[in-house]
Amino acid sequence: MTVLEPAGNAADRRTSPPARPPALLYAVAAISALGGLLFGYDTGIISSALLDLGRDLQLSTGDREVVVSAILVGAMAGAPVSGVLSARWGRRPVIIAVAVVFALGALASALAPTAFTLTLARLVLGLAVGAASNTVPVYIAETAPPAVRGRLMVLFQLMVAIGQLVSYLVGYALAGPNGWRWMFGLAAVPAVILALGMLPLPESPRWLVGRGADKAAHTVLARLRPRAHDVTAEVADIAAVCRAESRAPRGLRATARVLRSSWLRPALVIALGIAAFSQLTGINAMVYYAPTLLADAGFGGSVALLTGIGIGVMLVLAGITGALCVDRVGRRRLLLWLMPASGVAMAIVALAFLLPASDVQRWMVVLALFAYIFLNGAGMQTVVWLLAPEVLPLAVRGPATSLATTTVWGFDLLIAVTALTAVQTFGLTATLLVYAVMNGMCWVFVLRRVPETRGRTLEDIERQLRRST
């Protein structure tokens, strides 16, 4: 088990409450987090589009799973590629390139004439989704001070939730033959805004120090910190960690060597374990397929779409709750409090489908589903994009975070390509009960393996990691 000192240690007590950060810091987080909005919209819109898309293109169950999964396959490739590129060229240029790919993928999806070309377009779009989910949290983590790092990073997840809610609203408004083309194409608008918004923003100061540009990092931090903040000391602290690492690995072999290091292994276990459980607990099975599953269960198409909008609302409320709690309650405690309740809510959804069809049964399904979405969203989905950039060291933060991101998308793909087939093979109740059990297993993993990182600098976390293997 990794033993990192919890928040509230002596180092934290010596730190006085920080002054309010300048507006530029919040602009950095808000603009870059548009990548999260695109991520949420492009992954969420498929659940609404699928109802009409399946009829327009005459898709079978397997075809629908392939169309849904194409974006996840692309995300699995986009995450590691972006990790290598961001380590070499910087976080900011990669995010700008990601915005361009988002726009191109959205337009290609909208104009796709066949299921095959749509699958290819969604595959390209997945490259941007994977790259955004990997690079944006790292960029925010490396620019934010410890006191507000959690809530700024959770802004990414909140934007993902907002993107998913917008996708449900757009899906409901545009439902009908060929409406799915407009659903896909509208994603090009925020992609252009992201690309233009990133142009005036600074590069990550920690990446600059890692490349030997201490003076440039000092200039950036002076713009991102309050006037009274000791920027020189912060740059020196970052540089000291870089020197302890000898130098950041420049090639794939050097990076692989560090990733296999025994001192790094506990951090990788934490990052990859949380990444896997973020999907095995079932959240995206509900996001992708809830309208389809409810419609098949007799809820009616319009009711299923409205339930999808409710899921989007719950995700946004969960994101807001997570943003408010993650720096006050802590990452570990938030998971320990919410994951058992999330599992219970999923179990209620599963068992409710065994009851005779009635208004009471339908309300039980919908309310328990909303409760599950909120609890899992405020807990696991709040923390999943936050922990990996916090616990992984600077020298391999880009590539190592990309491993965690690839794990998220790999298990997301597993869920996407098996959910409908599992329901047809084993039944809806059995499938959902497996997800409920996974929520309980996640709680055990957090209890035994996950440390608290609240209120600590990234350099302090890394030093403690090196001392506590």
Residues whose CB falls within 8 Å of the CB of residue 139, separated by 6 or more in sequence, listed in order: 28, 32, 91, 92, 95, 204
424-433: long-range contacts, CB 8 A cutoff, minimum separation 24: 424/61, 428/293, 428/297, 428/350, 428/353, 429/350, 429/351, 429/353, 429/354, 430/350, 431/350, 432/282, 432/346, 432/347, 432/349, 432/350, 432/353, 433/346, 433/347, 433/350, 433/351
Report yes or no on whether pTM surpasses 0.85.
no
Task: Measure Cα distances from 310 to 22, 160, 426 in Å.
Answer: 36, 15, 27
Q: How far apart are CA 379 and CA 282, in angstroms?
A: 13
Q: Mean pLDDT over residues 260-265, rounded?
A: 80
Does residue 379 register a pLDDT over 50? yes
What local confidence, expressed as pLDDT, does residue 137 receive? Answer: 87
Residue 245 identity (one-letter amino acid): E
Residues 226, 17: Cα–Cα separation, whole Å = 12
How much is the pLDDT for 10? 41
Q: How far apart are CA 154 and CA 339, in angstroms?
A: 18
pLDDT given at position 297:
66
Q: How far apart are CA 28 and CA 13, in angstroms?
A: 28
- Distance separating alpha carbons of residues 36 and 33, to the nearest angstrom: 5
CA torsion 109→113→119→121, rounded to 10°? -40
Structure tokens at 3: 């033993």
The pLDDT tens digits for 175-209 are: 877 888 999 999 999 999 999 999 999 999 989 99
At residue 243, does pLDDT exceed 80? no
Most confident of the ranges 129-133, 154-158, 228-232, 431-435: 431-435
Burial label for 93, CB within 10 Å (0-12, 13-18, 19+), is: middle
pLDDT (average), residues 31-40: 92
Largest Cα separation within the chain, whole Å, is 69
Confidence at residue 438, expressed as pLDDT on a 0 to 100 scale: 97
- Cβ atoms within 10 Å of 251's Cβ, excluding its own: 8
Residue 414 clears pLDDT 50, i.e. is over it = yes
92 vs 311 pLDDT, higher one: 92
User: φ, ψ for residue 88 (rounded to 5)?
Assistant: -90, -45
Angle at 87 between CA 187 and CA 226, to 5 degrees: 80
Nearest-5° Cα angle at 304, 299 to 307: 120
Q: Is the pLDDT confidence value at 456 over 90?
A: no
Check whether 58 has a pLDDT greater than 90: no
Burial of 408 (0-12, 13-18, 19+ CB in 10 A): buried
Tokens 């589009």 appear where? 49
Model confidence at 8: pLDDT above 80? no
pLDDT value, residue 375: 96
Task: Supply the pLDDT for residue 301.
Answer: 59
Across all residues in the chain, what is the average pLDDT?
85
Q: Left if phi > 0, otherwise alpha if psi is -120 to 50, otherwise beta: which for 212? A: left
The reported pLDDT for the residue numbered 12 is: 43
In tens, the pLDDT along 318-330 reads 989 988 898 889 9
Residue 250: pLDDT band by 50, 70, 90 thresholds? low
Asked if the model's pLDDT at residue 253 lies above 50, the reply is yes
Q: Which two tokens stand for residue 103?
A: 């726009």
Structural contact between residues 183 and 170, judged by C-beta atoms closer than 8 angstroms: yes
Q: What is the pLDDT of residues 429-448, one digit of tens each?
A: 999 999 999 999 999 999 99
What pLDDT is recorded for position 258?
66
Q: Per-residue DSSP letters for 324-351?
A: HHTTTT-HHHHHHHHHHHHHHHHHHHHH
User: Where do the H-state alpha helices sit in 113-246?
Assistant: 115-143, 146-173, 179-185, 188-198, 205-210, 214-224, 231-244
Query: Is-contact 75 39, C-beta < 8 A?
Result: no
By C-alpha distance, which of 289, 291, 422, 428 is closest to 351?
428
pLDDT digits (tens, 9 = 90+) for 271-311: 999 999 999 999 988 877 777 777 766 676 566 667 778 88
Sketch out the chain's domains with CATH numbers. 22-467 (1.20.1250.20)
- Mean predicted confidence (pLDDT) in 124-152: 89
Do 65 and 412 form a contact (C-beta atoms < 8 A)?
Answer: no
